[in-house]
């Protein structure tokens, strides 16, 4: 039943591709960093499409697949572009094994990691408790050293100490790495990490003294492929050697040696946050791809100036749709670029940490906190905005965006609640403010904008009066404006605290500072990405346009107020900047399909009837709906029988017959 209107949908999306001002393939290489990574990612996509297990179980077994096929490190890295991997195995690899490798001695790693890699044991990372999440120091599970048997006793004093939310613990895990207060001779040495068995590998029954189970469904049907669990411990005995002792140690006489640097164990936490940055970008990219394609093929209203061909206007041609989707495309790119850079920085930092050198930690910690906060919030808000921009059909499960948001949105509250992390950004920058106040200079690149406060630049708004349109597109002007705003917000915070406001009263100031710091970082990384391309590459201009849109989106759309209240931009200049912003959006909209095609998602990954590559949204939606079991005679049998009995008998039967 393919009619002209239906055929038009495929024509519309192909036309958009043909009209694009650049090659989506070239842009893919920019996004993925190297052609090689893109190639591997695409091979993985094929593998995923053809893997019966994956087809049946979704992405659940992708990690495992990685193991079985013995992928190289680079290939595994490319995996991160292919899909979000949520399964009991995700944290087995990303947390259980990673923590043992990072915090165990080499002997401990040799003992446990091989067994874990072969899945002879299944692990999880048991930190959060029912009563303690953000306050890790306040965890109540205890690990008490028993000198007589050279063992630790793992114990949960009450319900609030129950381990909770632990991914993989609900059904799968046989072991956990468990954060517990180390207690020796009645003295508490704070949280340390212990390997604790929870289920027998012989019969999978709970280990004696362990109460373990699944915590039930999550909001929005999200993360339903992960078995989040709980566990309580009743004096469970483990050998002393089950404490991870790379940094801190306990001897068989109960002597405690503390780590050289008390933050050496932070590496694992930072690592998880680093991964979240590019991931947030790719997830927003998926949502933006779906919404861009669907609004390209959906037509609605003839408008004031009807098309010559008699067709209604493409929904993507409406300025409201462009103003909602185009900025989000620029955000997705910015997150991916920043995520790539910080992952490299992290690798370097980690090498140093392994040698007990924590010098890079404070700055990376500050940057990842700010970026984790910003990227998870903007990405998940943006995903839902994409869904809304699709109108009514966006609410169908078959739009595919619902599942992205449902599983991504807890990233706002896990791996450090965003509002808690924002305070750490505030604290970190206050230290730099102190340096400036003492006449010093901030040498850390990502915070160097703080030096504005020591210069004449800090006293007045950026002068944009002359040739405004050109000035606001100058990368240096943009970085100046973003840096000035961030620096002045920090200076104002310092002032507020000086005038007597309590630290607990300035959470929101820290929130705005975290955003300002993240946006400065994202903008400068975007500019560095452009500098890394050869200047005569045809792809440079389209990337630059997106960087400009990213910059002006922050100023005109998301976060106008702090630019104005800090005087980084004058109210009088806003009209002209908004006019440039509108031009940028209209320009990006012309290439929206190419910009999103460049993420190179397969239809399988997008899992969307409305966002497939061929644009045949209505036909695919119709097909998806026909597969509903409720639409078969058998599927309706019980319902129809029930309704016949309660609605259509007796008096009602007579009434209906007369109509």
- Please say whether the dihedral angle defined by the alpha carbons of residues 158, 161, 164 and 168, taken in this order, is positive or negative: negative
Give me the least distance between CB of 343 and a copy of itself, in Å please: 25
Rule CB under 8 A: is residue 70 a binding residue for a copy of itself?
A: no
Q: x/- string (CB under 8 A) for a copy of itself, residues 350-389? A: ----------------------------------x--xx-
- Within 8 A by CB and 6+ apart from 318, the residues are none
Rounded to a whole number of angstroms, the minimum distance from the CB of residue 441 to a copy of itself is: 29
Q: Is 605 in the site for a copy of itself (CB under 8 A)?
A: no
What region, left, alpha or beta, does residue 301 occupy, with left being phi > 0 and alpha being psi -120 to 50 degrees?
left
Nearest residue to 178 via CA among 123, 225, 220: 123
Residues near a copy of itself (CB under 8 A), total = 128
Q: Which is nearer to a copy of itself, 404 or 543 (CB)?
A: 404
Q: Are 85 and 59 in contact (CB under 8 A)?
A: yes
Binding flag, residue 303, a copy of itself (CB under 8 A): yes
* Cβ nearer to a copy of itself, comparing 382 with 394: 394
Residue tagged active-site, from 151, 385, 415, 605? 415
- 20 is a contact residue toward a copy of itself (CB under 8 A): no
Both tokens of residue 204? 């999978």
Q: In angstroms, rounded to a whole number, what is the distance separating the alpha carbons of residues 95 and 224?
A: 19
Q: Which residues contact 304 (CB under 8 A, 6 or more apart)?
A: none
- The answer to the question of residue 304 lying near a copy of itself (CB under 8 A) is yes
What part of residues 111-140 is at the interface with a copy of itself (CB under 8 A)?
111-112, 114-115, 118-122, 128, 130-135, 138
Query: Per the annotation, does 167 bind a ligand?
Result: yes
Say if CB 275 and CB 291 are below 8 A apart: no
Q: Write out the binding residues for a copy of itself, residues 143-182 only, by CB under 8 A.
A: 157-160, 162, 165, 170-172, 174
CA distance 403 to 59: 13
Q: Which of residues 385-444 bind a copy of itself (CB under 8 A)?
A: 387-388, 391-399, 401-403, 405-406, 409-410, 412-414, 417-419, 422
Question: Is 105 annotated in some ligand binding site?
Answer: no
Which of 506, 533, 540, 576 binds a copy of itself (CB under 8 A)? It is: 506
Asked if residue 459 binds a copy of itself (CB under 8 A), the reply is no
Structure tokens at 363: 């700055």
**202 versus 438: smaller Cβ distance to a copy of itself:** 202
Contact 617, 610 (CB under 8 A): yes
d(CA 256, CA 310): 81
Binders of a copy of itself among residues 217 to 276 (CB under 8 A) are 217-222, 227, 230
- Cα torsion angle, 233, 237, 243, 249, sign: positive
Judge whether 415 counts as a catalytic residue: yes
Position 623 contacts a copy of itself (CB under 8 A): no
* 110: contact with a copy of itself by CB under 8 A: no
Report the C-alpha gap between 511 and 292 in whole angstroms: 31
CA distance 346 to 363: 11
The annotation places the binding site at 128, 167
The annotation places the binding site for FAD at 128, 167
**What residues are labeled active site?**
415
């Amino acid at each position: 039943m393919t009619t002209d209107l239906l055929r038009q949908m495929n024509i519309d999306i192909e036309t958009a591709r043909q009209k694009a001002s650049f090659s989506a393939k070239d842009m893919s290489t920019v996004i993925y960093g190297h052609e090689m990574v893109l190639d591997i990612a695409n091979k993985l996509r094929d593998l995923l499409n053809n893997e019966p297990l994956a087809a049946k179980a979704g992405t659940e077994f992708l990690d495992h697949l990685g193991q079985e096929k013995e992928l190289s490190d680079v290939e595994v890295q490319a995996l991160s572009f292919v899909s979000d991997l949520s399964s009991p195995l995700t944290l087995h690899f990303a947390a259980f094994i990673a923590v043992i490798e990072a915090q165990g001695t080499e002997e401990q790693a040799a003992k446990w990691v091989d067994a874990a890699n072969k899945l002879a044991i299944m692990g999880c990372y048991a930190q959060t408790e029912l009563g303690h999440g953000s306050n890790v120091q306040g965890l109540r599970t205890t690990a008490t050293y028993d000198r007589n048997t050279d063992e630790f006793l793992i114990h949960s004093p009450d319900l609030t100490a129950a381990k909770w939310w632990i991914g993989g613990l609900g059904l799968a895990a046989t072991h956990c790495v468990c954060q517990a207060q180390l207690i020796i001779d009645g003295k508490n040495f704070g949280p340390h990490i212990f390997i604790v068995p929870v289920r027998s590998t012989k019969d999978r029954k709970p280990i004696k003294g362990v109460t373990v189970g699944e915590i039930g469904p999550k909001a929005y049907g999200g993360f339903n492929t992960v078995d989040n669990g709980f566990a309580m411990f009743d004096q469970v005995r483990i050998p002393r050697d089950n404490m991870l002792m790379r940094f801190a140690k306990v001897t068989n006489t109960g002597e405690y040696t503390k780590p050289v640097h008390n933050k050496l164990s932070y590496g694992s936490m930072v690592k998880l946050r680093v991964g979240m940055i590019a991931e947030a970008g790719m997830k927003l990219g998926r949502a933006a791809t779906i919404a861009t394609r669907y609004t390209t093929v959906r037509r609605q209203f003839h408008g004031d100036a009807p098309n010559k061909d008699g067709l209604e206007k493409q929904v993507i041609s409406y300025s409201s749709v462009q103003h909602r989707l185009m900025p989000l495309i620029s955000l997705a790119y910015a997150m991916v670029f920043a995520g790539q850079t910080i992952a490299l920085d992290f690798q370097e930092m980690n090498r140093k940490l392994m040698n007990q050198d924590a010098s890079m930690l404070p700055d990376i910690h500050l940057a990842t906190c700010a970026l984790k906060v910003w990227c998870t919030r903007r990405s998940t808000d943006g995903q839902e905005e994409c869904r809304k921009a699709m109108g009514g059909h966006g609410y169908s499960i078959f739009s595919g965006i619902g599942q992205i948001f449902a599983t991504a949105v807890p990233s706002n509250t896990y791996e450090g609640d965003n509002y808690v992390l924002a305070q750490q950004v505030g604290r970190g920058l206050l230290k730099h403010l102190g340096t400036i106040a003492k006449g010093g200079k901030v040498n850390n690149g990502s915070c160097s904008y703080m030096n504005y406060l020591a210069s004449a630049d800090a006293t007045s708004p950026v002068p944009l009066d002359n040739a405004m349109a050109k000035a606001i597109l100058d990368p240096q002007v943009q970085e100046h404006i973003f840096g000035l705003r961030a620096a002045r917000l920090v200076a104002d915070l310092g002032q507020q605290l000086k005038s007597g406001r309590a630290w607990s009263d300035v959470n929101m100031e820290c929130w705005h500072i975290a955003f300002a710091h993240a946006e400065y970082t994202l903008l400068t990384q975007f500019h560095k990405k452009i500098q890394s391309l050869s200047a005569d590459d045809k792809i440079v201009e389209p990337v630059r346009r997106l960087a400009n849109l990213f910059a002006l989106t922050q100023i005109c759309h998301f976060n106008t107020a702090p630019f104005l209240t800090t005087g980084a931009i004058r109210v009088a200049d806003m009209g002209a900047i908004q006019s440039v912003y509108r031009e940028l959006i209209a320009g990006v909209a012309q290439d929206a399909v190419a910009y999103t095609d460049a993420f190179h998602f397969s239809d399988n990954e997008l899992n969307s009837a409305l966002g497939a590559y061929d644009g045949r949204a209505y036909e695919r939606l119709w097909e998806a709906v026909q597969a509903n079991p409720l639409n078969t005679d058998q599927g309706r049998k019980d319902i129809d029988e029930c309704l016949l009995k309660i609605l259509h008998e007796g008096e009602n039967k007579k009434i209906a017959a007369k109509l």
